[in-house]
Structure 1
Protein backbone atom coordinates (compact mmCIF):
# COMPACT_ATOMS: atom_id res chain seq x y z
CA UNK A 1 0.00 0.00 0.00
CA UNK A 2 2.79 2.41 0.91
CA UNK A 3 4.61 1.56 -2.31
CA UNK A 4 1.44 2.20 -4.37
CA UNK A 5 0.91 5.52 -2.62
CA UNK A 6 4.51 6.50 -3.32
CA UNK A 7 4.10 5.62 -7.00
CA UNK A 8 0.91 7.69 -7.23
CA UNK A 9 2.59 10.66 -5.56
CA UNK A 10 5.60 10.36 -7.87
CA UNK A 11 3.39 10.20 -10.97
CA UNK A 12 1.33 13.18 -9.77
CA UNK A 13 4.52 15.15 -9.18
CA UNK A 14 5.83 14.20 -12.60
CA UNK A 15 2.56 15.26 -14.21
CA UNK A 16 2.67 18.54 -12.33
CA UNK A 17 6.21 19.23 -13.48
CA UNK A 18 5.23 18.39 -17.05
CA UNK A 19 2.22 20.72 -17.00
CA UNK A 20 4.34 23.49 -15.51
CA UNK A 21 6.94 22.99 -18.23
CA UNK A 22 4.28 23.23 -20.95
CA UNK A 23 2.84 26.38 -19.33
CA UNK A 24 6.29 27.98 -19.17
CA UNK A 25 6.88 27.03 -22.79
CA UNK A 26 3.66 28.83 -23.70
CA UNK A 27 4.83 31.87 -21.75
CA UNK A 28 8.09 31.88 -23.68
CA UNK A 29 6.40 31.49 -27.08
CA UNK A 30 4.02 34.39 -26.51
CA UNK A 31 6.47 36.74 -24.75
CA UNK A 32 7.30 39.95 -26.65
CA UNK A 33 10.56 40.16 -28.59
CA UNK A 34 11.20 43.88 -28.26
CA UNK A 35 14.70 45.16 -28.93
CA UNK A 36 16.33 48.45 -29.97
CA UNK A 37 16.77 48.71 -33.73
CA UNK A 38 18.61 52.00 -34.14
CA UNK A 39 18.93 54.17 -37.21
CA UNK A 40 18.42 53.00 -40.78
CA UNK A 41 21.60 52.60 -42.84
CA UNK A 42 22.39 55.76 -44.79
CA UNK A 43 22.25 53.98 -48.15
CA UNK A 44 18.56 53.22 -47.61
CA UNK A 45 17.76 56.97 -47.35
CA UNK A 46 14.87 56.07 -45.04
CA UNK A 47 12.54 58.10 -42.85
CA UNK A 48 11.43 56.91 -39.41
CA UNK A 49 7.80 55.81 -39.00
CA UNK A 50 5.49 55.68 -36.00
CA UNK A 51 1.99 54.33 -36.72
CA UNK A 52 -1.02 53.27 -34.67
CA UNK A 53 -2.86 50.04 -35.43
CA UNK A 54 -6.59 49.44 -35.00
CA UNK A 55 -5.67 46.95 -32.24
CA UNK A 56 -4.12 49.77 -30.22
CA UNK A 57 -0.44 48.95 -30.77
CA UNK A 58 2.27 51.40 -31.81
CA UNK A 59 4.10 50.23 -34.93
CA UNK A 60 7.55 51.58 -35.76
CA UNK A 61 9.52 51.26 -38.96
CA UNK A 62 11.29 52.93 -41.88
CA UNK A 63 10.13 54.25 -45.25
CA UNK A 64 12.35 54.81 -48.27
CA UNK A 65 10.84 56.67 -51.30
CA UNK A 66 11.00 55.39 -54.87
CA UNK A 67 11.46 56.32 -58.47
CA UNK A 68 7.99 57.09 -59.90
CA UNK A 69 6.22 54.14 -61.49
CA UNK A 70 8.46 51.42 -60.07
CA UNK A 71 6.14 50.28 -57.30
CA UNK A 72 6.28 50.09 -53.51
CA UNK A 73 6.94 47.05 -51.30
CA UNK A 74 6.12 46.38 -47.65
CA UNK A 75 8.55 43.99 -45.91
CA UNK A 76 7.40 41.84 -42.98
CA UNK A 77 9.85 39.87 -40.83
CA UNK A 78 9.49 36.53 -39.04
CA UNK A 79 8.72 35.65 -35.43
CA UNK A 80 11.02 37.09 -32.74
CA UNK A 81 12.81 39.17 -35.39
CA UNK A 82 12.50 42.82 -36.40
CA UNK A 83 12.82 45.01 -39.48
CA UNK A 84 16.61 44.50 -39.69
CA UNK A 85 15.90 40.88 -40.71
CA UNK A 86 14.53 42.31 -43.97
CA UNK A 87 17.31 44.82 -44.55
CA UNK A 88 19.13 42.94 -47.33
CA UNK A 89 15.86 42.73 -49.28
CA UNK A 90 15.17 46.42 -48.61
CA UNK A 91 18.56 47.53 -49.93
CA UNK A 92 18.16 45.39 -53.05
CA UNK A 93 14.66 46.76 -53.72
CA UNK A 94 15.80 50.33 -53.04
CA UNK A 95 18.62 49.96 -55.58
CA UNK A 96 16.06 48.62 -58.06
CA UNK A 97 13.97 51.78 -57.65
CA UNK A 98 11.12 50.58 -55.45
CA UNK A 99 9.69 52.49 -52.53
CA UNK A 100 10.25 50.32 -49.46
CA UNK A 101 8.60 50.17 -46.05
CA UNK A 102 9.94 47.97 -43.24
CA UNK A 103 8.13 47.64 -39.92
CA UNK A 104 8.59 45.89 -36.61
CA UNK A 105 5.49 43.74 -36.15
CA UNK A 106 3.59 44.34 -32.89
CA UNK A 107 5.45 42.95 -29.85
CA UNK A 108 8.69 42.91 -31.87
CA UNK A 109 11.62 45.28 -32.20
CA UNK A 110 10.65 48.83 -31.24
CA UNK A 111 6.89 48.36 -31.75
CA UNK A 112 4.42 48.14 -28.89
CA UNK A 113 2.46 45.07 -27.88
CA UNK A 114 2.52 42.79 -24.87
CA UNK A 115 2.22 39.40 -26.57
CA UNK A 116 3.11 37.65 -29.81
CA UNK A 117 -0.26 36.51 -31.19
CA UNK A 118 0.88 34.60 -34.30
CA UNK A 119 -0.99 36.75 -36.78
CA UNK A 120 -3.92 38.46 -35.02
CA UNK A 121 -2.53 41.72 -33.58
CA UNK A 122 0.35 41.47 -36.07
CA UNK A 123 -2.27 41.54 -38.85
CA UNK A 124 -3.59 44.83 -37.48
CA UNK A 125 -0.05 46.22 -37.71
CA UNK A 126 0.16 45.09 -41.34
CA UNK A 127 -3.11 46.86 -42.18
CA UNK A 128 -1.79 50.08 -40.62
CA UNK A 129 1.46 49.82 -42.56
CA UNK A 130 -0.29 49.22 -45.88
CA UNK A 131 -2.57 52.20 -45.32
CA UNK A 132 0.45 54.39 -44.57
CA UNK A 133 2.36 53.06 -47.58
CA UNK A 134 -0.53 54.01 -49.86
CA UNK A 135 -0.49 57.54 -48.42
CA UNK A 136 3.25 57.92 -48.92
CA UNK A 137 3.32 56.31 -52.39
CA UNK A 138 -0.15 57.18 -53.72
CA UNK A 139 0.65 56.60 -57.38
CA UNK A 140 2.43 53.30 -56.90
CA UNK A 141 1.26 49.72 -57.14
CA UNK A 142 1.79 47.92 -53.84
CA UNK A 143 3.55 44.62 -53.14
CA UNK A 144 4.24 42.74 -49.92
CA UNK A 145 7.01 40.28 -49.01
CA UNK A 146 6.19 38.46 -45.78
CA UNK A 147 8.35 35.86 -44.05
CA UNK A 148 6.94 33.21 -41.67
CA UNK A 149 4.97 35.19 -39.05
CA UNK A 150 4.99 38.23 -41.35
CA UNK A 151 3.41 36.17 -44.11
CA UNK A 152 0.77 34.78 -41.74
CA UNK A 153 0.02 38.28 -40.41
CA UNK A 154 -0.69 39.50 -43.94
CA UNK A 155 -3.00 36.59 -44.75
CA UNK A 156 -4.81 36.64 -41.41
CA UNK A 157 -5.00 40.45 -41.45
CA UNK A 158 -7.02 40.37 -44.70
CA UNK A 159 -6.23 43.98 -45.70
CA UNK A 160 -8.60 45.84 -47.99
CA UNK A 161 -7.88 46.88 -50.65
CA UNK A 162 -5.62 43.92 -51.34
CA UNK A 163 -2.01 44.50 -52.41
CA UNK A 164 -1.21 44.20 -56.12
CA UNK A 165 1.27 41.33 -55.60
CA UNK A 166 2.26 39.18 -52.63
CA UNK A 167 5.33 37.04 -51.87
CA UNK A 168 4.83 34.64 -48.96
CA UNK A 169 7.89 32.84 -47.59
CA UNK A 170 8.09 29.93 -45.14
CA UNK A 171 4.51 30.40 -43.88
CA UNK A 172 2.83 27.85 -41.63
CA UNK A 173 -0.55 26.58 -42.88
CA UNK A 174 -2.06 26.21 -39.39
CA UNK A 175 -0.94 26.91 -35.85
CA UNK A 176 -1.38 23.18 -35.16
CA UNK A 177 1.23 22.40 -37.81
CA UNK A 178 3.55 25.12 -36.53
CA UNK A 179 3.47 23.90 -32.93
CA UNK A 180 3.79 20.20 -33.75
CA UNK A 181 6.71 20.80 -36.15
CA UNK A 182 8.61 22.87 -33.60
CA UNK A 183 8.03 20.39 -30.80
CA UNK A 184 9.41 17.61 -32.96
CA UNK A 185 12.35 19.73 -34.09
CA UNK A 186 13.41 20.94 -30.64
CA UNK A 187 12.28 18.08 -28.36
CA UNK A 188 11.79 15.01 -30.54
CA UNK A 189 9.06 13.22 -32.43
CA UNK A 190 7.67 11.83 -29.17
CA UNK A 191 6.67 15.38 -28.19
CA UNK A 192 4.21 16.00 -31.06
CA UNK A 193 1.26 14.68 -28.97
CA UNK A 194 1.99 17.46 -26.45
CA UNK A 195 0.95 20.15 -28.93
CA UNK A 196 -2.73 20.18 -27.77
CA UNK A 197 -1.49 21.24 -24.31
CA UNK A 198 0.19 24.30 -25.84
CA UNK A 199 -2.73 25.05 -28.15
CA UNK A 200 -5.18 24.88 -25.23
CA UNK A 201 -3.42 27.96 -23.80
CA UNK A 202 -4.36 30.16 -26.77
CA UNK A 203 -7.77 31.29 -25.45
CA UNK A 204 -6.29 31.91 -21.98
CA UNK A 205 -3.25 33.84 -23.15
CA UNK A 206 -4.33 35.47 -26.41
CA UNK A 207 -8.12 35.37 -26.38
CA UNK A 208 -8.24 33.41 -29.65
CA UNK A 209 -8.73 29.79 -30.59
CA UNK A 210 -6.51 27.72 -32.85
CA UNK A 211 -9.24 28.01 -35.52
CA UNK A 212 -8.40 31.73 -35.85
CA UNK A 213 -4.75 30.95 -36.71
CA UNK A 214 -5.13 29.01 -39.95
CA UNK A 215 -3.65 30.95 -42.90
CA UNK A 216 -4.54 28.05 -45.19
CA UNK A 217 -8.23 28.88 -44.68
CA UNK A 218 -7.75 32.45 -45.92
CA UNK A 219 -4.99 32.29 -48.54
CA UNK A 220 -7.51 31.95 -51.39
CA UNK A 221 -9.06 35.27 -50.30
CA UNK A 222 -5.92 37.28 -51.09
CA UNK A 223 -7.35 38.06 -54.55
CA UNK A 224 -3.93 39.06 -55.84
CA UNK A 225 -1.02 37.45 -57.73
CA UNK A 226 0.94 35.20 -55.37
CA UNK A 227 4.48 33.84 -55.27
CA UNK A 228 4.80 31.21 -52.54
CA UNK A 229 8.36 30.30 -51.52
CA UNK A 230 9.53 27.48 -49.24
CA UNK A 231 12.84 25.87 -48.34
CA UNK A 232 12.92 22.26 -49.48
CA UNK A 233 14.68 21.28 -46.23
CA UNK A 234 12.58 23.48 -43.91
CA UNK A 235 11.64 21.56 -40.75
CA UNK A 236 9.70 24.45 -39.17
CA UNK A 237 7.23 24.41 -42.07
CA UNK A 238 7.72 21.21 -44.03
CA UNK A 239 7.54 21.14 -47.80
CA UNK A 240 4.30 19.09 -47.91
CA UNK A 241 2.69 21.77 -45.73
CA UNK A 242 3.78 24.46 -48.20
CA UNK A 243 2.41 22.36 -51.03
CA UNK A 244 -0.94 22.24 -49.20
CA UNK A 245 -0.88 26.03 -48.95
CA UNK A 246 -0.15 26.39 -52.65
CA UNK A 247 -2.98 24.02 -53.55
CA UNK A 248 -5.39 26.09 -51.43
CA UNK A 249 -4.35 29.42 -53.03
CA UNK A 250 -6.25 30.98 -55.92
CA UNK A 251 -4.79 31.78 -59.33
CA UNK A 252 -2.66 33.50 -60.47
CA UNK A 253 -0.01 31.81 -58.37
CA UNK A 254 3.56 30.53 -58.55
CA UNK A 255 5.46 28.14 -56.28
CA UNK A 256 9.23 28.15 -55.76
CA UNK A 257 10.69 25.43 -53.53
CA UNK A 258 14.27 26.58 -52.84
CA UNK A 259 16.68 23.62 -53.16
CA UNK A 260 18.71 22.89 -50.04
CA UNK A 261 17.19 25.69 -47.95
CA UNK A 262 15.93 25.22 -44.39
CA UNK A 263 13.97 27.79 -42.34
CA UNK A 264 16.46 30.55 -43.12
CA UNK A 265 16.63 33.99 -44.70
CA UNK A 266 16.04 32.85 -48.28
CA UNK A 267 17.43 36.06 -49.79
CA UNK A 268 20.71 35.58 -47.95
CA UNK A 269 20.71 31.83 -48.76
CA UNK A 270 20.38 32.23 -52.55
CA UNK A 271 20.65 35.96 -53.38
CA UNK A 272 21.08 35.69 -57.15
CA UNK A 273 18.26 33.18 -57.61
CA UNK A 274 16.04 35.10 -55.18
CA UNK A 275 16.56 38.46 -56.86
CA UNK A 276 16.02 36.94 -60.30
CA UNK A 277 12.83 35.07 -59.38
CA UNK A 278 11.25 37.56 -56.98
CA UNK A 279 12.48 40.54 -58.99
CA UNK A 280 10.76 39.29 -62.15
CA UNK A 281 7.54 38.64 -60.23
CA UNK A 282 7.48 42.11 -58.65
CA UNK A 283 8.39 43.87 -61.89
CA UNK A 284 5.60 42.07 -63.74
CA UNK A 285 2.94 43.17 -61.29
CA UNK A 286 4.21 46.45 -59.82
CA UNK A 287 5.96 48.34 -62.62
CA UNK A 288 3.26 50.40 -64.32
CA UNK A 289 4.67 49.93 -67.83
CA UNK A 290 5.44 46.21 -67.37
CA UNK A 291 2.06 45.49 -65.77
CA UNK A 292 0.24 47.43 -68.48
CA UNK A 293 -2.04 48.91 -65.82
CA UNK A 294 -2.72 52.46 -64.63
CA UNK A 295 -1.44 53.76 -61.33
CA UNK A 296 -3.77 53.90 -58.39
Structure 2
Protein backbone atom coordinates (compact mmCIF):
# COMPACT_ATOMS: atom_id res chain seq x y z
CA UNK A 1 0.00 0.00 0.00
CA UNK A 2 1.39 3.26 -1.07
CA UNK A 3 1.53 6.06 1.34
CA UNK A 4 0.42 9.36 -0.12
CA UNK A 5 2.33 12.38 1.17
CA UNK A 6 0.41 15.57 1.03
CA UNK A 7 2.74 18.52 0.88
CA UNK A 8 1.64 21.63 2.69
CA UNK A 9 2.81 25.16 2.05
CA UNK A 10 3.51 27.30 5.06
CA UNK A 11 2.76 31.04 4.69
CA UNK A 12 4.79 33.25 6.98
CA UNK A 13 2.92 36.34 8.23
CA UNK A 14 5.03 39.45 7.48
CA UNK A 15 5.22 40.44 11.12
CA UNK A 16 8.11 42.84 10.76
CA UNK A 17 6.66 44.50 7.68
CA UNK A 18 3.36 45.12 9.42
CA UNK A 19 5.18 46.46 12.42
CA UNK A 20 7.12 48.95 10.25
CA UNK A 21 3.94 50.12 8.56
CA UNK A 22 2.37 50.62 11.96
CA UNK A 23 5.34 52.70 13.10
CA UNK A 24 5.17 54.83 9.93
CA UNK A 25 1.50 55.57 10.48
CA UNK A 26 2.22 56.41 14.10
CA UNK A 27 4.94 58.86 13.10
CA UNK A 28 2.65 60.34 10.48
CA UNK A 29 -0.11 60.92 13.00
CA UNK A 30 2.43 62.46 15.38
CA UNK A 31 3.69 64.83 12.67
CA UNK A 32 0.25 65.94 11.51
CA UNK A 33 -0.34 68.35 14.43
CA UNK A 34 3.13 69.82 13.91
CA UNK A 35 2.51 70.26 10.19
CA UNK A 36 -0.87 71.84 10.91
CA UNK A 37 0.73 74.18 13.42
CA UNK A 38 3.36 75.24 10.85
CA UNK A 39 0.66 75.89 8.25
CA UNK A 40 -1.41 77.92 10.73
CA UNK A 41 1.60 79.94 11.87
CA UNK A 42 2.68 80.62 8.28
CA UNK A 43 -0.85 81.67 7.40
CA UNK A 44 -1.01 83.96 10.43
CA UNK A 45 2.32 85.57 9.54
CA UNK A 46 1.24 86.13 5.93
CA UNK A 47 -2.15 87.50 7.01
CA UNK A 48 -0.51 89.82 9.56
CA UNK A 49 1.73 91.36 6.91
CA UNK A 50 -1.22 91.67 4.56
CA UNK A 51 -3.05 93.56 7.30
CA UNK A 52 -0.07 95.90 7.75
CA UNK A 53 -0.07 96.62 4.01
CA UNK A 54 -3.82 97.29 4.16
CA UNK A 55 -3.46 99.63 7.13
CA UNK A 56 -0.59 101.53 5.51
CA UNK A 57 -2.94 102.50 2.72
CA UNK A 58 -5.69 103.61 5.09
CA UNK A 59 -4.34 105.80 7.91
CA UNK A 60 -6.67 107.02 10.62
CA UNK A 61 -7.48 110.68 9.86
CA UNK A 62 -9.36 113.03 12.16
CA UNK A 63 -12.31 114.92 10.65
CA UNK A 64 -12.10 118.65 10.03
CA UNK A 65 -12.60 120.60 13.22
CA UNK A 66 -12.72 124.18 11.95
CA UNK A 67 -12.26 126.36 8.87
CA UNK A 68 -10.12 129.39 7.90
CA UNK A 69 -12.66 131.94 9.08
CA UNK A 70 -13.26 130.38 12.48
CA UNK A 71 -9.62 129.49 13.10
CA UNK A 72 -7.82 132.50 11.67
CA UNK A 73 -10.39 135.08 10.53
CA UNK A 74 -9.63 134.36 6.88
CA UNK A 75 -12.36 134.63 4.25
CA UNK A 76 -12.43 131.56 2.02
CA UNK A 77 -14.32 129.73 -0.69
CA UNK A 78 -15.20 126.04 -0.72
CA UNK A 79 -13.78 124.52 -3.89
CA UNK A 80 -14.02 121.23 -5.78
CA UNK A 81 -11.69 120.13 -8.57
CA UNK A 82 -10.39 116.94 -10.16
CA UNK A 83 -6.97 115.40 -10.45
CA UNK A 84 -5.12 116.11 -13.70
CA UNK A 85 -6.18 112.73 -15.09
CA UNK A 86 -9.79 113.12 -13.91
CA UNK A 87 -9.52 110.00 -11.77
CA UNK A 88 -10.35 111.58 -8.41
CA UNK A 89 -12.34 114.50 -7.06
CA UNK A 90 -10.81 116.76 -4.44
CA UNK A 91 -12.30 119.23 -1.99
CA UNK A 92 -10.61 122.20 -0.42
CA UNK A 93 -10.56 125.85 0.56
CA UNK A 94 -9.28 128.81 -1.40
CA UNK A 95 -8.20 131.79 0.70
CA UNK A 96 -7.97 134.75 -1.72
CA UNK A 97 -5.65 137.74 -1.54
CA UNK A 98 -7.16 140.78 -3.20
CA UNK A 99 -5.82 141.33 -6.71
CA UNK A 100 -3.07 138.71 -6.36
CA UNK A 101 -2.06 136.36 -9.19
CA UNK A 102 0.34 134.31 -7.07
CA UNK A 103 -0.77 131.32 -5.02
CA UNK A 104 0.65 128.79 -2.57
CA UNK A 105 -0.73 125.25 -2.41
CA UNK A 106 -0.39 123.35 0.83
CA UNK A 107 0.37 119.65 0.30
CA UNK A 108 -0.53 117.86 3.52
CA UNK A 109 1.15 114.78 4.93
CA UNK A 110 0.20 111.16 5.52
CA UNK A 111 -2.50 110.85 8.15
CA UNK A 112 -3.35 114.54 7.88
CA UNK A 113 -5.83 116.69 6.02
CA UNK A 114 -6.17 120.30 4.89
CA UNK A 115 -5.94 121.48 8.52
CA UNK A 116 -2.87 119.72 9.98
CA UNK A 117 -3.35 121.47 13.28
CA UNK A 118 0.01 120.35 14.67
CA UNK A 119 1.95 122.22 11.94
CA UNK A 120 -0.28 124.47 12.03
CA UNK A 121 -1.71 125.26 8.58
CA UNK A 122 -4.06 128.05 9.66
CA UNK A 123 -1.26 130.12 11.13
CA UNK A 124 0.93 129.68 8.06
CA UNK A 125 -1.96 130.47 5.72
CA UNK A 126 -2.53 133.71 7.62
CA UNK A 127 1.14 134.69 7.29
CA UNK A 128 1.02 134.01 3.55
CA UNK A 129 -2.18 136.00 3.16
CA UNK A 130 -0.47 138.96 4.83
CA UNK A 131 2.21 138.71 2.12
CA UNK A 132 -0.51 138.89 -0.56
CA UNK A 133 -0.49 135.21 -1.57
CA UNK A 134 -3.65 133.29 -2.33
CA UNK A 135 -3.65 130.02 -0.39
CA UNK A 136 -5.17 126.72 -1.49
CA UNK A 137 -5.74 124.03 1.14
CA UNK A 138 -7.16 120.69 0.01
CA UNK A 139 -7.55 117.06 1.01
CA UNK A 140 -5.93 114.29 -0.99
CA UNK A 141 -8.49 111.77 -2.21
CA UNK A 142 -7.65 109.15 0.43
CA UNK A 143 -9.03 111.51 3.09
CA UNK A 144 -12.65 110.64 3.88
CA UNK A 145 -13.10 108.22 0.96
CA UNK A 146 -12.53 104.56 0.24
CA UNK A 147 -9.41 105.38 -1.78
CA UNK A 148 -6.05 104.35 -0.36
CA UNK A 149 -2.69 106.07 -0.05
CA UNK A 150 -0.45 105.44 -3.06
CA UNK A 151 2.77 107.01 -1.81
CA UNK A 152 2.50 109.93 -4.20
CA UNK A 153 1.64 108.06 -7.41
CA UNK A 154 -1.99 109.21 -7.59
CA UNK A 155 -1.44 112.09 -5.16
CA UNK A 156 0.99 113.74 -7.60
CA UNK A 157 -1.81 113.85 -10.19
CA UNK A 158 -4.10 115.36 -7.55
CA UNK A 159 -1.58 118.06 -6.71
CA UNK A 160 -1.28 118.83 -10.41
CA UNK A 161 -5.07 119.05 -10.45
CA UNK A 162 -4.86 121.76 -7.77
CA UNK A 163 -2.32 123.62 -9.89
CA UNK A 164 -4.54 123.35 -12.96
CA UNK A 165 -7.50 124.68 -10.95
CA UNK A 166 -5.54 127.76 -9.91
CA UNK A 167 -4.44 128.41 -13.49
CA UNK A 168 -8.06 128.32 -14.63
CA UNK A 169 -9.06 131.01 -12.13
CA UNK A 170 -6.22 133.36 -13.05
CA UNK A 171 -3.16 132.37 -11.02
CA UNK A 172 0.03 133.09 -12.96
CA UNK A 173 2.58 132.04 -10.35
CA UNK A 174 2.15 128.85 -8.32
CA UNK A 175 4.22 127.68 -5.37
CA UNK A 176 3.92 124.51 -3.28
CA UNK A 177 4.45 124.06 0.44
CA UNK A 178 4.71 120.36 1.22
CA UNK A 179 4.86 118.51 4.51
CA UNK A 180 6.06 114.96 5.16
CA UNK A 181 4.63 112.68 2.44
CA UNK A 182 3.04 115.82 0.97
CA UNK A 183 6.59 117.10 0.42
CA UNK A 184 7.53 113.81 -1.23
CA UNK A 185 4.42 114.12 -3.40
CA UNK A 186 5.46 117.67 -4.38
CA UNK A 187 8.84 116.36 -5.52
CA UNK A 188 7.13 113.66 -7.59
CA UNK A 189 4.80 116.24 -9.19
CA UNK A 190 7.73 118.53 -9.99
CA UNK A 191 9.41 115.70 -11.91
CA UNK A 192 7.08 116.45 -14.82
CA UNK A 193 5.14 119.64 -13.98
CA UNK A 194 6.28 122.91 -15.54
CA UNK A 195 3.89 124.97 -13.43
CA UNK A 196 5.61 124.99 -10.02
CA UNK A 197 7.92 127.97 -9.59
CA UNK A 198 9.26 127.24 -6.10
CA UNK A 199 8.71 124.81 -3.20
CA UNK A 200 9.15 124.64 0.54
CA UNK A 201 9.50 121.06 1.74
CA UNK A 202 9.13 120.47 5.48
CA UNK A 203 10.10 117.04 6.90
CA UNK A 204 10.28 115.42 3.46
CA UNK A 205 9.12 111.80 3.46
CA UNK A 206 9.60 109.48 0.48
CA UNK A 207 7.90 106.10 0.54
CA UNK A 208 10.86 103.90 -0.34
CA UNK A 209 11.82 100.50 1.13
CA UNK A 210 14.27 101.86 3.72
CA UNK A 211 11.94 104.53 5.13
CA UNK A 212 8.98 102.14 5.00
CA UNK A 213 10.83 99.56 7.09
CA UNK A 214 12.20 102.28 9.37
CA UNK A 215 8.67 103.44 10.21
CA UNK A 216 7.25 99.94 10.61
CA UNK A 217 10.06 99.00 12.97
CA UNK A 218 9.31 102.11 15.04
CA UNK A 219 5.84 100.67 15.65
CA UNK A 220 6.42 96.90 15.59
CA UNK A 221 9.82 95.26 16.04
CA UNK A 222 9.75 93.07 12.92
CA UNK A 223 12.74 91.60 11.08
CA UNK A 224 13.55 93.18 7.75
CA UNK A 225 13.23 89.74 6.17
CA UNK A 226 10.64 88.42 5.50
CA UNK A 227 8.56 91.40 6.70
CA UNK A 228 9.61 93.99 4.11
CA UNK A 229 9.27 91.66 1.08
CA UNK A 230 5.87 90.45 2.32
CA UNK A 231 4.54 93.98 2.87
CA UNK A 232 5.81 95.06 -0.54
CA UNK A 233 4.13 92.00 -2.03
CA UNK A 234 0.78 92.79 -0.43
CA UNK A 235 0.87 96.59 -0.89
CA UNK A 236 -0.37 96.57 -4.52
CA UNK A 237 -2.88 93.82 -3.75
CA UNK A 238 -4.39 95.82 -0.90
CA UNK A 239 -3.94 99.34 -2.31
CA UNK A 240 -3.80 99.03 -6.07
CA UNK A 241 -0.33 100.56 -6.40
CA UNK A 242 3.05 98.86 -6.33
CA UNK A 243 5.92 100.53 -4.51
CA UNK A 244 7.87 99.99 -7.74
CA UNK A 245 5.65 102.67 -9.28
CA UNK A 246 6.86 105.29 -6.79
CA UNK A 247 9.72 107.15 -8.54
CA UNK A 248 11.77 107.64 -5.40
CA UNK A 249 15.06 106.99 -7.22
CA UNK A 250 14.23 109.63 -9.83
CA UNK A 251 13.37 112.10 -7.07
CA UNK A 252 16.63 111.43 -5.22
CA UNK A 253 18.69 111.95 -8.37
CA UNK A 254 16.80 114.85 -9.96
CA UNK A 255 18.26 118.34 -10.27
CA UNK A 256 15.15 120.51 -10.16
CA UNK A 257 15.20 123.76 -12.13
CA UNK A 258 13.33 125.67 -9.40
CA UNK A 259 14.34 127.01 -5.98
CA UNK A 260 13.54 124.68 -3.07
CA UNK A 261 13.79 125.36 0.65
CA UNK A 262 14.31 122.10 2.53
CA UNK A 263 13.41 122.22 6.24
CA UNK A 264 14.16 119.19 8.37
CA UNK A 265 14.72 118.16 11.97
CA UNK A 266 17.79 116.09 12.77
CA UNK A 267 15.79 114.18 15.36
CA UNK A 268 13.06 113.25 12.89
CA UNK A 269 12.13 109.67 13.74
CA UNK A 270 9.87 109.18 10.70
CA UNK A 271 11.83 110.65 7.82
CA UNK A 272 15.63 110.55 8.31
CA UNK A 273 17.08 113.96 7.47
CA UNK A 274 19.88 112.53 5.32
CA UNK A 275 17.38 111.87 2.51
CA UNK A 276 16.42 115.56 2.33
CA UNK A 277 20.06 116.48 2.63
CA UNK A 278 21.08 114.20 -0.25
CA UNK A 279 18.34 115.63 -2.50
CA UNK A 280 19.42 119.16 -1.57
CA UNK A 281 23.02 118.39 -2.53
CA UNK A 282 21.87 117.63 -6.09
CA UNK A 283 20.33 121.09 -6.50
CA UNK A 284 21.86 124.21 -8.02
CA UNK A 285 18.91 126.56 -8.64
CA UNK A 286 19.32 130.04 -7.10
CA UNK A 287 17.68 130.56 -3.70
CA UNK A 288 17.70 126.82 -2.93
CA UNK A 289 18.57 126.21 0.70
CA UNK A 290 18.62 123.61 3.47
CA UNK A 291 17.67 124.44 7.06
CA UNK A 292 18.47 121.65 9.47
CA UNK A 293 17.43 121.94 13.12
CA UNK A 294 19.53 119.77 15.49
CA UNK A 295 16.60 119.28 17.89
CA UNK A 296 13.85 119.37 15.28
CA UNK A 297 11.27 116.59 15.02
CA UNK A 298 8.88 115.49 12.28
CA UNK A 299 6.57 118.35 11.19
CA UNK A 300 7.16 120.15 14.47
CA UNK A 301 9.75 122.65 13.23
CA UNK A 302 7.36 125.63 13.35
CA UNK A 303 6.47 124.94 16.97
CA UNK A 304 10.14 124.59 17.88
CA UNK A 305 11.13 128.01 16.46
CA UNK A 306 8.13 130.02 15.29
CA UNK A 307 9.80 133.38 14.60
CA UNK A 308 12.69 131.93 12.63
CA UNK A 309 10.38 129.58 10.74
CA UNK A 310 8.06 132.37 9.61
CA UNK A 311 11.00 134.65 8.78
CA UNK A 312 12.73 132.07 6.57
CA UNK A 313 9.63 130.77 4.81
CA UNK A 314 8.09 134.16 4.02
CA UNK A 315 11.45 135.48 2.82
CA UNK A 316 11.84 132.44 0.56
CA UNK A 317 8.45 132.85 -1.13
CA UNK A 318 8.82 136.62 -1.46
CA UNK A 319 12.24 136.19 -3.05
CA UNK A 320 10.84 133.58 -5.44
CA UNK A 321 7.95 135.89 -6.34
CA UNK A 322 10.27 138.84 -6.87
CA UNK A 323 12.18 136.87 -9.51
CA UNK A 324 9.03 136.43 -11.58
CA UNK A 325 7.96 139.01 -14.20
In the alignment, does 2:87 pair up with 1:87? no
Contact 1:63 1:102 in 2 (8 A): yes
Among 64, 67, 74, the residue aligned to 1:44: 74
- Residue aligned with 2:196, SS: coil
Equivalent position of 1:135 in the other structure = 168
Specify every segment of 5 or more residues in structure 1 that has no aligned partner in the other structure, as ranges: none
In the alignment, does 2:103 pair up with 1:72? yes
The 1:32–1:238 alpha-carbon spacing in structure 2 relative to 1, beyond 3 Å, is closer
CA distance in 2, matches of 1:108, 1:265: 22
Aligned length: 286
Q: State the Cα distance separating 1:35 from its structure 2 match.
A: 5.7
Contact 2:105 2:135 in 1 (8 A): yes
Larger radius of gyration: 2
In the alignment, does 2:39 pair up with 1:12? yes
Among 266, 282, 302, the residue aligned to 1:267: 302
Among 145, 148, 151, the residue aligned to 2:183: 151
Q: State the Cα distance separating 1:174 from its structure 2 match.
A: 4.3
The 1:28–1:174 alpha-carbon spacing in structure 2 relative to 1, beyond 3 Å, is closer
Q: State the Cα distance separating 1:268 from its structure 2 match.
A: 2.9
Alignment of 1:214-225 (within 5 A): 214-218=247-251, 220=254, 222-225=256-259
- Residue aligned with 1:200, SS: helix
RMSD: 2.4
Q: State the Cα distance separating 1:152 from its structure 2 match.
A: 2.0
Equivalent position of 2:88 in the other structure = 57
Query: Mean alpha-carbon deviation: is it higher for 166-175 or for 244-253?
Result: 244-253
Q: State the Cα distance separating 1:78 from its structure 2 match.
A: 0.5
Q: State the Cα distance separating 1:238 from its structure 2 match.
A: 0.9
CA distance in 2, matches of 1:117, 1:179: 13
Superposition TM-score, scaled by structure 1 size: 0.86
CA distance in 2, matches of 1:231, 1:11: 44
CA distance in 2, matches of 1:191, 1:69: 53
CA distance in 2, matches of 1:152, 1:187: 24
> Could you report, residue by residue, the CA deviation over 1:9-54 in whole angstroms, capped at 9, with x for unpaired residues?
3333222211111111111111265664366232121111111122
Equivalent position of 2:265 in the other structure = 231
